[in-house]
Each structure stands twice: as structure tokens, then as C-alpha cells.
Amino acid sequence: MTDAFDVLVLGAGSGGYACALRAAQLGLTVGLVEKSRLGGTCLHVGCIPTKALLHAGEVADAARDAARFGVRASLDGIDMVGVNTYKDGVVSRLFKGLTGLVASRGITVIEGTGTLVGPRRVQVGDTTYEGHSLVLATGSFARSLPGLEVDGERVLTSEHALALDHVPSSVVVLGGGVIGCEFASVWRSFGADVTIVEALPRLLAAEDEASSKALERAFRKRGIRFMTGTPFQGVTHTDAGVAVTVEGGEVLEAELLLVAVGRGPATEGLGFEEQGVVMERGLVTVDERLRTGVEGVYAVGDITPGLQLAHRGFAQGIFVAEEIAGLDPAPIDESSIPRVTYSHPEVASVGLTEAAARATYGDDGVETVTYDLGGNGKSQILQTQGFVKLVRRADGPVLGLHLVGDRVGELVGEAQVVYGWEAFPDDVAPLVHAHPTQSEALGEAFLALAGKPLHAHQ
């Protein structure tokens, strides 16, 4: 086995394996170091298994609510062994496909923990590997709070939660961001009592305020309790589970506490700083071309400042491979990266929130329109509620698109094209959307923003 490569990639998650595959496609020799399994967090303990659970929850809700559609059915219960078999099967098939793809491209997979021992040298076990270019893609880990001990039994991270063999009777979810809202949603679908504790003023605080309010209304209707603007103070074990104390002294008792306060960069103890890589709060500092400042060393994915999203890391990995190969790719526009929370209902967005747009262009420089899904035929068929909200610069292009409702995550592709196109409402309004589809809601919203609404909007 050679110990020298054109490109040496440290970490085989979404960013690392995408970089490796694209570099190999461009004719470069590639070494890919991974301490666990190809695919990283997203495939094994993140995006894929959580969305499989959410789909199982959707099936449970469909059975529970079947009478609404004139179907005689009942929900007998949740078989978590069966749910996990389904979930693990999805992961296994994707893992097998990825493993075969990496092997077919002639990429050398190096199993073990890699540590930087030179500017572009990585030691794995007793062997040192060198790359003409080095790509850092070591990913992230589930954070906790100072003094909050995660035991994996009563106090869990999302990784522990994915391995549960039963539906908890009650859960306190610490954190009302994407991970917290998704687990709250699935556990409620499975029949658990759920309370979310969030220190910030609203759920999904990074999203447009209207989207947050819509999700909060939907969660309230589903019986998901949430406490916003409420910092966590402590947790103790009880005979039945946990007792969670929040600011103000209220104590919440539940079987489990899920710690969903975000993810931190997995960079500690890997030799980055010792080799001159500039770091800030554990994150690797990069320029718009994802260069670290050490010649020939790049960084992608969750270890770089910005959104911690698998598709962002994937795009960055491809960008770096093309950069190394001399193709001079265009830098990634961070604001064009779509965001989706796969709760029930879903929340999706791309571009600026209304508040961010007004902060940049002033109140008079921004226009918005909201089209309610109540006027959309397919949404009525699906019995989902929500909206499409558009934010534009006055007499200018669309700055942000925000969607709430079941399945709207599938609409964010068109929203991303509109945003990336810097489209004006009159550019999009003439486009014909198939009927009946939820994508028509985007079309109707653009008709309204172009000054020619055909149906009711607010």
C-alpha cells in the first residue's frame, strides 16, 4: 500500500467521501482515512436514520387518523424492534452502496483514527500517510452543557435516542432547534408525552419568525408542550427517570432527557493547531475557497464555521476536489444552501429571513407575501396546513423563501433555484406548475408578489 496520495482526506462523512469520489473521478490518487464507517454521522447516526424514524411516525399518524379519510384502521402500537429493523435496513443498503462506489473508484480506505504529524502528513496507527493536498473533514459530535452528564440511559444524545428499543412514556427535549424538534415530533407520533425546553425565545430560532410561530401552533395542536425563553438549570435521577429543573424553579419529570443543544466540531486532539491550522472555538478557519492558511490544507463540513448540514459538507467536498484539480470552481454561496426541519409539519427555507432582509435593506426596502396552503388543492388532499412566504427587495429580486407544511421539504429545490437565479417575481410567475401539486403554492405566491394574485392570500 502506498503511503503517498495526490489527495489525503481525513474523515469519510458527507464532506470527506464527496471530496474523495470527485477527486478520484478527476484522475487523482486518493487516500480516505476513517475511524468508524464510511458515510459518517449523516448516514449512520444523523440524517438518514432520523428521517426513517420520522417516516415511521408519519405512518403511525396515518393509521391513527385514518378515519379522517374514510379508511377503517387502527393503531395497535409501535414495535420498536420492527421500526429499528426498517431504519437499520435503509442505512445498511445505503452503506453497502457507498462502500461499493468508493471501492470502484480505486480510493484507498485507511481504517483508524488519523492525527496530523506534519503539514500534510497523517499518522494512523503505526503508519504515516502523506498527501500533496490534505482535506480535513472530521465532522462533529453531539454537544452537552457544562455540568450536564450524558449517561446514555436516562440522559441521552441523539445517537443514544436512535438506538432505543422502546417508546419512552415521556421525554423532556433540551433544545428547540432542528434535532430537538425532529425527535419531539417522532416521539409524539409514537405516543410519548413530550416537552421541549428552549432558552431562546422561540422554536427553530434560526428560521423566519412566521415559520417558528406556525410550527409552535402545530406542535401545540399535536399536544407537544414547549417552554421557550426558559434556560435549563439541572437534572437529577428519580425512581421513574429524571427530574429536570428549569429557570424559575419548575421541575419537569419524565422517563428520559434528550440533550439536543447542537453539535460541536470534532477537532480536539487531532494535531490541527500543532501543524499551524488556525482554529477558533474548535472550528477551523477557512477562506471562501476553503483553504486553511497552511499551504495545501483545506477543511470542509461541520468543522468549518457555518451551517452544519450534510448537503453543505457534500458540496464543499466537491468544490475542494475541483479546486485541487485546478478547475477553479465558483465559491459556494452559503446563503443559497437550503434548510429543512423534517418535523410534522416540515419547515423549509432558503435565503434571508424577513428580519434579516429588513436589517439589510430597511423596512421600506423589503416586500413580503404569504400564500396559505389552505388554498392549495394537494395540501387539502393531504390535510396539511402551512404557507409559502416570499421575501423580496422592493422592485428587486427574491431574497428569501420560507415554507411550512407536510412535504414542503420537497419544494425547497425550486425555491433554491429561484434564489440562486436572483429571480424577480415576474420571472417566476409565468411558470406553469402541475395541478394538483404543492408546488402550485409557490406559483400562486409569485403571482401575488408580481401583483396579480388569482386566489386568496394574506
Catalytic site positions: 435
First-to-final CA distance of the chain: 65
- Tell me whether strands 242-246 and 251-254 are parallel, antiparallel or unpaired: antiparallel
CB 197 within 8 A of CB 218: no
Helix or strand holding residue 10 (H, E)? strand 4-10
* CB-CB neighbours of 311 under 10 Å: 16
Rounded to 5 degrees, what angle do the CA atoms 406, 409, 412 make?
A: 135
Grid cell for residue 126: 503505526
Half-sphere exposure of 321 (CA within 13 A, CB side): 26
Longest dimension (CA), the chain: 69
CA-closest candidate to residue 279, choices 296, 261, 292, 260:
292
Tabulate helix, strand, coil % of the chain (nearest 5): 35, 25, 40
CA separation for the pair 305, 281 (Å, rounded): 10
Grid cell for residue 375: 388554498
* CB-CB neighbours of 27 under 10 Å: 8
For residue 126, the Cα-to-chain-centroid distance in whole angstroms is: 36
CA separation for the pair 134, 4 (Å, rounded): 11
